[in-house]
Amino acid sequence: MTAAATSTLVTPGGASCPAPATQTHVVVFYTVAGGGHVAAATALKEILEATGAYRVTLVNPYVDLVPHLDLWRRLTGRTSEDIYNQSIIRDGRTGLYCLTYYGGVLLNFRMVHREAQRAIAAYLEEQKPDMVISVLPMSNRIIFDAVNDYRRRSADRAHVRKAVLITDWTEYGRHIWFPKGDDYAAICGTEDSYRRATGYKALAGRVFRTQGLLLKPSFQGGPPADKAAAKAALGLAPDKPVICMLYGAHGGWRMREMAVALTDQPPDAQILFLCGHNRDLAAALAQMQWPFPTRVVGFTRDVPQYLGASDIFVGKPGPGSVSEALSFGLHLLLDRTMALPQETPVLKWVKRTGAGASFRGPKDFRRIVHRLLAQIDRGVDGPKAHSNTASAEIPGIVEAILEPDGGLPLRSSG
């Protein structure tokens, strides 16, 4: 393995022990198109490096390695990530516009496959990883072909492994996450994605399952023992239900539309707006006069604390946000009109399991909110928190993938 380590580790009990003489170098490929991929990448880095056995490097290939190959940037002056975050997520253009965008992205990857493969292989030559993990879709065949090129250049690189950690509920199209080939492992956080991956014969014996999608450890551990105290600690009224509106890392103007829908029949609750990076939305919400208590929060790292103090989660059916809300046992109220193609499996799962409800318009939203608040007022037990142990399972899975006899023959596709 690579990278000599000289640090000292501190165990959870406070005792110190020397770090391993060498650390396994893991390179994680991610994108900032949406918040889920970067959240998974940073979680991987935090979790693996906490063991002391790994050094983790995060890289966004679209920004750091191949920005010049972005077809959207050439045609529109905006990067593909900016179009996704601004036009699709923030502005809610999730229909035909979104599908056209996806088609253009896939076409872009096919056009630049070889050139991007060479650029990524050159980057790996500099980094010399022992393992490559991708937490992004669509371009994994390019990434893994580049890893294969890197491995072939020297006999001492035969140990280098590849893996996909899917951050969606499941694949929304064949080979969107799991590319053709038998030269990598798959890590799945839901039963739906596990079934999809194991359905590919080439991945037989290479699919690992975690209990829940990968979240940062701070999102795990379940709801607070004293929710009233959790509310008070954030300056919220401890005796009133909290409705948390969260439309991803880049916010969504539907938050304002739905909150306005409640003004005709103001609920006996306080509304928490988590706006993420959308400063315009946060400013607009803060300037409005509301007939109920509100709290407007921009980008924050205290999302676990806010979710822990909440009772109802309102947002788009993003797999990461929904998983976070489930881990705290919140009532789910999901916006069907904001669903991206890859988010529709979340809605289907919620309906199938009865884990929550969904809405389309303001009237529908208002009716369900008042129904849920009435249940809370009557003392009806809320949803049971879903145990999520993915962060504890990841180090063992990565170790198993790296083992020469771990059931993953060292093959090379192409």
Domain span including residue 308: 221-377
Tell me, yes or no, whether 244 and 357 share the same domain.
yes
- Please answer whether residues 83 and 71 qualify as being in contact, where contact means their C-beta atoms are separated by less than 8 angstroms: no
Flag whether 6 is in a domain.
Answer: no
Residue with the two structure tokens 């896939």:
106
Q: What's 289-357 look like in SS3? A: CCCCCEEEECCCCCHHHHHHCCCEEEECCCHHHHHHHHHCCCEEEEEHHHCCHHHHHHHHHHHHHCCEE
Nearest 5 degrees, angle CA 32-CA 35-CA 39? 95
φ and ψ at residue 47, rounded to 5 degrees: -70, -50
Flag whether 408 is in a domain.
Answer: no
Flag whether 137 is in a domain.
Answer: yes
Q: Which DSSP letter does residue 88 get?
A: I
Flag whether 407 is in a domain.
Answer: no
Tell me, yes or no, whether 207 and 227 share the same domain.
no
Q: Tokens for 381?
A: 């037990």
Tell me, yes or no, whether 198 and 240 share the same domain.
no
Flag whether 8 is in a domain.
Answer: no
DSSP β-bridge partners for residue 244: 272, 313
Tell me, yes or no, whether 398 and 369 share the same domain.
no
Least confident of 118-127, 188-197, 307-316, 382-391: 382-391
Using one digit for the tens of pLDDT, what is the confidence trace for 246-295? 998 888 889 999 999 999 999 999 999 999 989 999 999 999 999 999 99
Q: How many domains does the chain divide into?
A: 2
Least confident of 31-35, 186-190, 404-408: 404-408
Flag whether 384 is in a domain.
Answer: no
Flag whether 7 is in a domain.
Answer: no
Question: Is residue 407 over pLDDT 80?
Answer: no
Tell me, yes or no, whether 175 and 241 share the same domain.
no
> Percent of the chain, pLDDT > 70?
93
Tell me, yes or no, whether 122 and 261 share the same domain.
no
The DSSP code sequence of 372-413 is HHHHHHTT---PPPPP--HHHHHHHHHHHHHSTTSS------
Q: What is the pLDDT of residue 201?
A: 95
Region for residue 121 given its phi and psi (left: phi exceeds 0; alpha: psi -120 to 50; beta: otherwise): alpha
Least confident of 124-138, 183-197, 392-406: 392-406
**Of all helices (H) and strands (E), which one includes residue 64?**
helix 61-64
Burial class (CB in 10 A: 0-12, 13-18, 19+), 212: buried
Tell me, yes or no, whether 182 and 240 share the same domain.
no
pLDDT band for 133, please (50, 70, 90 cuts).
Answer: very high
Q: What is the pLDDT of residue 8?
A: 42
Tell me, yes or no, whether 230 and 326 share the same domain.
yes
Q: What is the pTM of this model?
A: 0.89
Q: What is the spatial distance between Cα 366 and Cα 129, in angstroms, rounded to a whole number?
A: 52
Tell me, yes or no, whether 213 and 226 share the same domain.
no
User: Which of 71-80, 90-99, 143-152, 397-406: highest mean pLDDT?
Assistant: 143-152
Q: What is the pLDDT of residue 21?
A: 61
For residue 303, the domain's CATH number is: 3.40.50.2000
Tell me, yes or no, whether 276 and 181 share the same domain.
no
pLDDT band for 2, please (50, 70, 90 cuts).
Answer: very low
Tell me, yes or no, whether 112 and 242 share the same domain.
no
pLDDT band for 11, please (50, 70, 90 cuts).
Answer: very low
Tell me, yes or no, whether 202 and 253 share the same domain.
no
Flag whether 3 is in a domain.
Answer: no
Using one digit for the tens of pLDDT, what is the confidence trace for 326-360? 999 999 999 998 789 999 999 999 999 999 999 99
If you average pLDDT over residues 80-96, what whole number do you get?
88
Using one digit for the tens of pLDDT, what is the confidence trace for 186-211? 999 999 999 999 999 999 999 999 99
Q: Are strands 131-134 and 22-29 parallel, antiparallel or unpaired?
A: parallel
